[in-house]
Amino acid sequence: MRANVAAQTGIAMSTPKERLCHLLELAAQGPQQRAALAGEVADLLLDWPAQYPQAMRATFGALLEKIVREVEPPACALLAARFEGREDFPLSLLNEFFLFASPQMKDAILARNDAAGAVVCADLDAQSLLTAARAARGFAGELARIAAVPDAVAEALLADTSSRGLAVLAKGAGVNRATFSAVAILAGPARSVHENFAMLGVFDRVPHNGAAQLVAFWRARCEGAAAAVERAA
């Protein structure tokens, strides 16, 4: 079946350069191609052809990182599952899957971030965050603004019923346990009392430096987008 998809999308090229060029052409065709394109690039990375230079693998990995940001959450979750347990991939790629990964994969990604070295991450305005959560309306946009993360990241954080993502944001950006709990209850999906207590346990287990690394990663995406707009102006 994958061979049929590859034939339909035209990426069964004879050399890595030709294949990369064709994938880039597909990437330019619009969002309707993103999920199929991401799947094909993942196929290539997960089963790297022996005749392809290893140096090219990083190029295809960087391409997948960019594509994933434009793929719908259900497709991202399917992709994330395919990379679970694969420690041979760059942390930057796995970070792109974090918000759509299983709890076990999230923990593994956090552990790798925690071991990546110390990082200083500016604290967000916790009082403004709590005020916005109480208002509820348009909270995803407010969360993105206050935390300085992309809108898509803020939306995925709030959609995560386990609150792992929100716990990472809070821990990495200087939000204390009580404020995290209040925000998660006010703005997150409905949970039972037992689930709310479990959510606090999730917060407690998040490693501070690992969380700060991820927050810095998400913020860098915002900074990169802002820089691109500024260059185009």
pTM summary value:
0.82
DSSP code for 161:
T
Task: Report the 10 Å Cβ neighbour count for 107.
Answer: 16
Return d(Cα 227, Cα 101) in angstroms, integer.
Answer: 29
User: Which H helix or E strand runs over 131?
Assistant: helix 126-135
- Whether the pLDDT of residue 233 is over 60: the answer is no
Question: What does the pLDDT read at residue 34?
Answer: 82
**Calpha distance 144→2 (Å, rounded):** 38
104-128: per-residue pLDDT in tens? 999 999 999 999 988 989 999 999 9
d(CA 75, CA 34): 9
Average pLDDT over residues 14-29: 72
Backbone angles phi, psi at 128, to 5 degrees: -65, -35
Whether the CB-CB separation of 22 and 14 falls below 8 Å is answered with: no
45, 64 contact by CB (below 8 A):
yes
pLDDT value at residue 23: 74
Give per-residue pLDDT as tens, 133-169: 998 788 999 999 999 999 999 999 988 888 899 999 9
227 falls in which pLDDT band (50, 70, 90)?
very low
Which of 43-47, 157-161, 206-210 shows the highest mean pLDDT? Answer: 206-210
- Residue 19 clears pLDDT 60, i.e. is over it: yes
Question: What is the C-alpha separation between 170 and 187, in angstroms, rounded?
Answer: 14
Q: Return the percentage of the chain with pLDDT > 70, whole number.
A: 87
Nearest to 174 by CA among 142, 220, 206, 151: 206
Q: In 3D, which of 127, 140, 210, 218 has the Cα closest to residue 176?
A: 127
